[in-house]
Amino acid sequence: MSTATSTAPVRGAPPPGARRRRIGVGVIGFGWLGQAHSRSLLRIPTLFENRSFDPQLIACSDALPARVEQATGSFSFKRASVDWRAVIDDPDVEAVFIAAPNMLHVQLVEAAAQAGKAVFCEKPVGGTPEQVVRAAQAARRAGVRSGVGYNYRWAPLVQYARELIANGELGEITNYRGRFFSMYGADPLGVNSWRFQLDQAGYGATSDLLSHAVDLAHMLLGPIIRVSGTLETFIRERPAPGDGASHYGRGRPEDPRTPVTNEDYAAMLCEFASGARGTFEVSRTLVGPESENAFDVYGTRGAVGWNLERLNELRLYRATEDRGSGYTTVLGGDRFGHHGVFVPGSGNAIAFEDLVTIEDYEFCSAVAEGRAFEPGFEQALAWAQVQAALLRSARSGCWEEVRS
Ligand SMILES: NC(=O)c1ccc[n+]([C@@H]2O[C@H](COP(=O)([O-])OP(=O)(O)OC[C@H]3O[C@@H](n4cnc5c(N)ncnc54)[C@H](O)[C@@H]3O)[C@@H](O)[C@H]2O)c1
């Protein structure tokens, strides 16, 4: 039990007297996630007293001039432009954060890696499995540190679930159920933004949603080795988008329609290398669940379940000699991971962007301290291999092996 007088070193703390290392950051793509990372980097010094680095927002790029203006005017970037090469070429930028549409990821990763920069890329690191392979090769060849925005890993209660499984407290894990049901595309008047376009997003619900669900499963249970799956596009036309339209934007009934060119839905049966069996289902058009990014893990001695819609709760069942505990609810609090950095005590909630802040803190700590970081591009590649097998299965109608 730790006490106030403990002399144990704080994880990630610089040695006494050491100076914090400055990390110059560049951000490419300044929409939802580009801004979320930038806000997170700005507030890290106010939250993590024992950090080994100080992030500095140096250069930003977005295709929209209004966002370029916002980067310097409201976020204190020193420089911003519509030219992403200026971010990568900037000598003061040590780490590049990529939050542009998926089909741009691979060329940005390749350019940043060739320039010797650490690269944090939003998931899925490319719009197709082939692009993820290229991105991973580029980082490996250049020997640069990589990170991927699988931010749900960093929920303190998800980390607690990982501990329970790894410590054997749930017994042998036999079954896994993963799903991500988001309603962002459920309204047929939702605009045809880049996420619905094969040439800008690459694949649809698999790249956008299933990548998160499978990443969590990989972290909790280990590799998936065989899959059988199906895909569908339920809403085949949508109102044309305006500049910078978000996937949450709405058109009008009289707007011209353009075709949707990637999938709305995917389902997959799978086998894990451990022998456990799993099911996955994701949709962006289902009506009802609004952001149900969830998993249930079942073992011979217990079970856990988590759902993003209830980010601060973990459902836990412990098998006992008599009647079992029944599902109980574990509330988030400062006894779990970095939760206490944001709010003290238990039952006081943290939120989506706090997970982005934790991942940015962990990534920059790894860069400053010369440590490996997970999830990096090797973990993105593990997802891409599952995606490739699912795409083959949807075509063949058969079970397909996950090939490395
Ligand atoms: N980890 C998560 O939970 C999460 C959530 C949302 C999005 N994402 C990922 O983040 C990335 C961005 O998604 P978003 O929702 O922020 O999208 P967004 O549409 O809000 O932002 C994308 C931005 O990229 C800009 N852009 C387009 N072309 C560009 C270019 N050539 N150079 C520079 N900027 C350019 C756009 O103008 C826009 O501002 C995607 O890869 C997505 O998968 C991850």
| 68: CATH | 3.40.50.720
Give how many domains the chain has, as a whole number: 2
Q: How far is the CA of 196 from the centre of ligand 1 (A)?
A: 13
The residues near 120 (Cβ < 8 Å, ≥ 6 apart) are: 37, 95, 96, 97, 98, 146, 147, 148, 149, 360, 363
Q: How far apart are CA 278 and CA 269, in angstroms?
A: 6
125/261 same-domain check: no
Q: Is residue 365 part of a domain?
A: no
105/162 same-domain check: no
146/162 same-domain check: no
Q: How far is the CA of 194 from the centre of ligand 1 (A)?
A: 9
Q: How far is the CA of 234 from the centre of ligand 1 (A)?
A: 24
Query: Closest residue (by CA) to atom 30 of ligand 1?
Result: 63
Indicate which atom in ligand 1 lies nearest the CA of residue 121: 41
134/69 same-domain check: yes
Q: Domain end: 151, 171, 199, which one? A: 151
- Residue 92, pLDDT score: 98
Query: Would strands 173-182 and 257-259 be described as parallel, antiparallel, or unpaired?
Result: unpaired
Q: Which residues pair with 54 in a beta bridge?
A: 22
82/205 same-domain check: no
Query: Closest residue (by CA) to atom 43 of ligand 1?
Result: 123
Mean of per-residue pLDDT scores for the chain:
95
Q: How far is the CA of 100 from the centre of ligand 1 (A)?
A: 4
187/317 same-domain check: yes
Its sign, for the CA torsion 39, 40, 46, 52, is negative
Whole-prediction pTM: 0.95
Mutate-to-test residue for ligand 1 from 120, 122, 131, highest number of ligand atoms within 8 A of CB? 122
Q: How far apart are CA 303 and CA 171, in angstroms?
A: 9
The CATH number for 286's domain is 3.30.360.10
146/190 same-domain check: no
Q: Is residue 324 part of a domain?
A: yes
Q: Domain end: 301, 328, 350, which one? A: 350
36/125 same-domain check: yes
Indicate which atom in ligand 1 lies nearest the CA of residue 105: 41
Q: Is residue 69 part of a domain?
A: yes
192-220 b/e (C-beta count within 10 Å ≥ 16 → b): bbbbbbbebbbbbbbbbbbbbbbbbbbbb
Q: Is residue 256 part of a domain?
A: yes
- Residue 244, pLDDT score: 80
Indicate which atom in ligand 1 lies nearest the CA of residue 149: 1
- Residue 75, pLDDT score: 98
Query: Closest residue (by CA) to atom 4 of ligand 1?
Result: 33
Q: How far apart are CA 60 and CA 96, in angstroms?
A: 9
Q: Is residue 381 part of a domain?
A: no
Q: How far apart are CA 148 and CA 379, in angstroms?
A: 8
Q: Domain end: 151, 177, 211, which one? A: 151
177/252 same-domain check: yes
Pocket of ligand 1 (CB under 6 A): 28-34, 61-64, 67, 84, 99-102, 104, 122-123, 149, 151, 208, 244, 246
66/192 same-domain check: no
Q: Is residue 371 part of a domain?
A: no
Q: Is residue 50 part of a domain?
A: yes
Q: How far apart are CA 296 and CA 279, in angstroms?
A: 10
328/250 same-domain check: yes
Q: How far is the CA of 201 from the centre of ligand 1 (A)?
A: 10
Q: How far is the CA of 344 from the centre of ligand 1 (A)?
A: 32
Helix (H, G, I), strand (E, B) or coil at 181: strand
- Residue 19, pLDDT score: 79
- Residue 41: domain span: 21-151
- Residue 247, pLDDT score: 87
CB 305 within 8 A of CB 297: yes
Residues in the chain with pLDDT < 70?
A: 1-18
What distance separates the 2 farthest-apart alpha carbons in the chain?
Answer: 68
61/182 same-domain check: no
Q: Is residue 59 part of a domain?
A: yes
Q: How far is the CA of 275 from the centre of ligand 1 (A)?
A: 37
Structure-block tokens of residue 83? 């030219």
- Residue 18, pLDDT score: 64
Mutate-to-test residue for ligand 1 from 27, 28, 30, 32, highest number of ligand atoms within 8 A of CB? 32
